[in-house]
Structure 1
Amino acid sequence: MILIADSGSSKTDWRGIDKDGNVSQFRGVGFNPYYQTPEEMATELNDEFLLKLKEEVVAIYYYGAGCSTPENKKGVATALGNLFGNAKIKIEHDLLAAARATCGHEEGIACILGTGSNSCDYNGDKITDSRPSPGFILGDEGGGTSIGKKFLQDFIHDEMPAVLKEEAADRFQLTAQVIQDNVYRKPFPGRYMASFCRFITEHTSNPYCYLLYYNAFQDFFKKHVTRYSNYDQKKVSFVGSVAFYNSDILRKAAADMQIHVHLILESPIAGLTLYHKDNL
């Protein structure tokens, strides 16, 4: 059996493919080696679905957020190796997952708009260029952490419509102190900030929420997509929940900048499953 993982900071999609081509699946917690040690990741891997497969798995293809440096790849490989001692482990960046799932063997620009954000230029075989992705404090334009951070800033400074602030305060028991405790004292502040995107998406009929997304997407295009050569002649595709559940706003923001949107997928796992199934 081979095991495929597509992991972001918030969730991981797992697919197992046995020798007969049968597929099993599971969704678990996300991982990011920038914020977690191998020991912490190994603890989170002790899930019933994975434990049942540990003796059968001979190869793991893991695509993950933060897996852009040799050190981070080694940390993830160590965590996986603790559970799957007999498996050959291949660690790749989540950008390659996005490119393989959306572009296949054709050239294009592949983007991630989920908890965080990222992008690359892909020639149909490999990534040829990418933009800096320095995380939720210094980057993540267009991603959930950046949008959620803006929402929470506006909540604290009373710079959003009163009806939205009242509803958010009631639903989440939200106060400035609660926000600061979650951002500065508790683990995974990026996940916390991104968690408000569901609420924002529910209220995109309100111009304030619509513009949170529209402006964030245009900021992403300016800092990422327009920096690639001949971007206006290439198909631009997206994976990630922020892109998927706000695709109408994303397409409008793109069209206003003469950017051609091709595919928008919630997750690349289905495309990755087909890719690796063909190579069994």
Structure 2
Amino acid sequence: MILIADSGASKTDWRVINKNGEISQHRGIGFNPNYQTAEEMANELQDDYLLNLRGQIDTIYYYGAGCTSQKNRLQVTNALRSIYKKAEINVDHDLMAAARATCGNQPGIACILGTGSNSCDYDGEIIINKRPAPGYILGDEGGGAYIGRKFLQDFIHEEMPKKLREKVLQKFQLDNQTIIENVYQRPFPGRYMASFCRFITEHAADPYCYMLYYNSFQDFFKKTVMKYDDYKKKPVSFVGSIAFYNSDILRNAAYDADIQVNLILEGPIAGLTLYHKELL
């Protein structure tokens, strides 16, 4: 049996491919070795669905945020090894997941717009170039944490439309101190900031919310996509909830930037499942 995982900062999608080709699925908590130790991740893996697969899994393909360095990949491998002691474990970056899910064996530019953001230039087999991804403090343009941060900044400084601010107060009972505590004192501030994107998407007809997304997508293009060779000639695909649930705004921003949008997927797990099933 094959176990496939696509893990981001907020959630992990799991798929199991049985020997007869049948597929089962599960969604659990997200992981990131940049912010968690192997022991912390191993504790989070104590999930009934995953534990019930012990002794049955032959191969694991894990794609995750923060899995760029060998050190981080080893941390994830050790966490998985704590449960699946005899399985062959393959850990790769979430960029490879995006590339394989959207491009398959064809060249293109693959992007992630979820809680965070990232991108790569893919030749149909390997990633040939990628831009820096310095995280939610120094980067993540176009991602949920980046958009949520701007939203909260505007709330704090009272620079969003008054009627929208009233809706925010009514829905979240938000105040400046609560924001400060969640961003600076509690774990996973990126998730917290990104959590406001659902509200922003629900109000995307409001010019303020629309432009918050539009400008953030333009920032992403300028920092990443536009720096790849011949980016105007290559199909550009996206995975992630921010891209998927705001696809109309994303396509408009891409059109204005002369970028050819190919696929926009909520997550790469379905494409990854097909990719690995074809290799059986």
* TM-score of Structure 1 vs Structure 2, range by shorter chain: over 0.9
| 1:214-261 residue CA offsets vs partner (Å, 9 max, x unmatched) | 000000000100000000000000000000000000000000011000
| 1:25-48 residue CA offsets vs partner (Å, 9 max, x unmatched) | 001111000001111111111111
One-letter amino acid of the structure 2 residue matched with residue 163 of structure 1: K
Structure 1 runs of 4+ with >6 Å offset: none
Give 1:200 shift: 0.2
Alignment TM-score, normalising by the size of structure 2: 0.99
**Quick one: distance in 2 between partners of 1:2 and 1:83?**
15
Give 1:58 shift: 1.1
| Equivalent residue runs for 1:253-264 within 5 Å | 253-264=253-264
One-letter amino acid of the structure 1 residue matched with residue 258 of structure 2: Q
User: What is aligned with 1:40?
Assistant: 40
| Equivalent residue runs for 1:239-258 within 5 Å | 239-258=239-258
Give 1:169 shift: 1.5
1:168 matched to 2:156: no
**Number of residue pairs the alignment of both structures matches:** 280
One-letter amino acid of the structure 2 residue matched with residue 21 of structure 1: G
One-letter amino acid of the structure 1 residue matched with residue 171 of structure 2: R
Q: SS at 1:27's partner residue?
A: strand
Q: SS at 2:82's partner residue?
A: helix
Q: Which runs of 5+ in 1 are unaligned?
A: none
User: What is aligned with 1:58?
Assistant: 58
Give 1:163 shift: 1.4
| Equivalent residue runs for 1:160-199 within 5 Å | 160-199=160-199
**Quick one: distance in 2 between partners of 1:106 and 1:271?**
13
**Quick one: distance in 2 between partners of 1:106 and 1:23?**
25
Q: Among the aligned pairs, what percent are the same residue?
A: 66
1:154 matched to 2:158: no
One-letter amino acid of the structure 2 residue matched with residue 80 of structure 1: L
User: What is aligned with 1:100?
Assistant: 100
Give 1:166 shift: 1.3
Alignment TM-score, normalising by the size of structure 1: 0.99
| 1:167-214 residue CA offsets vs partner (Å, 9 max, x unmatched) | 112211210000001001110000000000000000011000000000
| 1:105-151 residue CA offsets vs partner (Å, 9 max, x unmatched) | 11100000000000000001110000000000000000000000000
One-letter amino acid of the structure 2 residue matched with residue 233 of structure 1: K
One-letter amino acid of the structure 1 residue matched with residue 7 of structure 2: S
Q: SS at 1:16's partner residue?
A: strand
**Quick one: distance in 1 between partners of 2:199 and 2:54?**
38
Q: SS at 1:109's partner residue?
A: strand
Q: SS at 2:267's partner residue?
A: coil
One-letter amino acid of the structure 2 residue matched with residue 30 of structure 1: G
Q: SS at 2:52's partner residue?
A: helix
**Quick one: distance in 1 between partners of 2:151 and 2:260?**
28
Q: SS at 2:141's partner residue?
A: coil
**Quick one: distance in 1 between partners of 2:156 and 2:48?**
41
**Quick one: distance in 2 between partners of 1:53 and 1:165?**
47
Give 1:162 shift: 1.2
Of residues 162-171 and 127-136 in structure 1, the stretch that sits farther from structure 2 once superposed is: 162-171
Q: SS at 2:279's partner residue?
A: coil
Q: SS at 1:83's partner residue?
A: coil
One-letter amino acid of the structure 2 residue matched with residue 95 of structure 1: L
Q: SS at 2:164's partner residue?
A: helix
| Equivalent residue runs for 1:4-23 within 5 Å | 4-23=4-23
Pairwise CA RMSD: 0.6
One-letter amino acid of the structure 2 residue matched with residue 37 of structure 1: T
**Quick one: distance in 2 between partners of 1:37 and 1:91?**
16
